[in-house]
Homo-oligomer: A and B are copies of this chain.
Amino acid sequence: MSRFSPAQVVERTGFSLDTLRYYERIGLLDGIARTPGGQRVFSDDDIAWLGILRCLRDTGMPIAQMQRYADLCRDDTTMAERLALLEEHDREVQRRIDELQAQRVHLAGKMDYYRSLDTRSATA
C-alpha cells in the first residue's frame, strides 16, 4: 500500500495537478487522504481509480457520466447498473470507431485524387 505525493500522481497518471484537484472537487475523486497539514496523499487504489477515469475520459465519456459511474461505485449493490453503463459506453466507443473508419475511406479517396495529380506533374 504505497502512498504518493501529488507530484508523483501527476507523473504516474498524466493528469495535471489542477485536473486532479478539479476531479476531487466535482466528486470524481473522493476520500483522498491528507497529511496532518492538509496535503493530499494518494494510495494505490486511488491510482487504480485514476486509471479507470483515464480510460473512460480517453474514450470520450462526458464528465457527467463519469460522475454517474463514480456514484454507482460508492454503492456496492449497483454492479448491474455499472455493467450496463460500461456496456452502453463500449457500444458508443465501437460506434465511434466504426464512424472513424468509414470516414477514413473518404479521406483515402481524396488522397488518391491528389496523388493522381501529383504523379502527372512528377512524370511531366
Contact = CB atoms under 8 A, between A and B. Distances in A.
Interface residues of A, number: 31
A110 to B, nearest CB: 6
How many protomers of this protein does the assembly include?
Answer: 2
Contacts of A101: 97
Contacts of A94: 104
A93 B100 contact: yes
A44 interface: no
A64 interface: no
A55 interface: yes
Contacts of A100: 59, 93, 96-97, 100
Contacts of A58: 99, 103
